[in-house]
Chains A and B, each alone.
Chain A
């Protein structure tokens, strides 16, 4: 019986080690990437933010109705020109796939700034610098400055565009911010 007990201990150690080795401790939920290949125009992937339901935070000075309720934005002059926002990000199927921050600022020393960080937990993060002034058609363009994991070896462009809702549905969002990415591998871009 003692030998059986010892065998049980060894089996327990081996079983625990095998379980930790073969079963992932973290398994992020994934959505299928919805990448569209355009003729002679590379490929794009679209994300969007439904406003106001996907807005997590709007940080700006002197807000009458801060979001979320209870937010106390610092009154330091350092942040007087800064607007920081947090959103949930959706893919083309209107499914939440990540979170994003958008910071816009304007001051004499640094000029106008609009930047995004898209954080898609299963894929990585993308840091995007946008042009401060939108184009005449309402699109604001930018470039992928750097990224992590899936986005690390990529370069490319991103456009931001506000699309107002015209459906008139009672529960429809006021509109949405559309982000369209067009990324290629760095090696391809250099060729």
Chain B
């Protein structure tokens, strides 16, 4: 019996040690340099608040830590969209002036690999920029962007 208890305690310690190693693994830290900083393309910077109540609309499955805003917004509770957040927000330029309306879709990605320290969010942006603003060829029209955000999995 004592051997069985020893084995079980050892396994618990092993699992805890493995998870601790994943959590504190310095090899899984995020890149400090954005790929955009070395891009040849024109780069437009928009700022927005990630706080749900600062958005025009934020919705999710209604059971997550972040509460949908406004409170009566339709929630994404269906199984196919349960792991998706959607936000509409005002995007601001570097002078903090309104520059665009942005709609962001974020879904947890099946490419997530906890073992590699990668918690991946598949995001798609739909942005309406300021008409006539000479920042790129699609200025004044709608700019479709997509992004694949990688977050350090446990931190």
Contacts and interface: CB of A to CB of B under 8 A. Distances in A.
Contact of A12 (B18, B90, B126): B18
B101 A79 contact: yes
Give the interface SS of chain B, mostly helix, strand, loop or mixed: mixed
B140 A99 contact: no
Contacts of B130: 78
Contact of A117 (B8, B13, B107, B144): B144
Give the interface SS of chain A, mostly helix, strand, loop or mixed: mixed
A8 B51 CA distance: 44
Contacts of A29: 79-80, 82
B50 interface: no
B126 A115 contact: yes
Given A11-B10, A110-B132, A121-B107, A99 B86 contact: yes
A7 B10 CA distance: 7
A125 B3 CA distance: 54
B56 interface: yes
B80 A13 contact: no
A148 B105 CA distance: 12
A16 interface: yes
Contacts of A119: 84, 86, 105, 107, 124
Interface in A77-127: 78-79, 81-82, 84, 86, 88, 95-99, 101, 103, 105, 107-110, 113, 115, 117, 119-122, 124-125, 127
Contacts of A165: none
Contacts of A10: 10, 14
B78 interface: yes
Contacts of A9: 10-11, 13-14, 17
5 contacts: A2-B6, A28-B108, A29-B79, A55-B74, A119-B84
Interface of B: 2-3, 6-19, 56-57, 59, 70-74, 76, 78-84, 86, 88, 90, 98-99, 101, 103, 105, 107-110, 112-115, 119, 122, 124, 126, 128, 130-132, 140-142, 144, 146
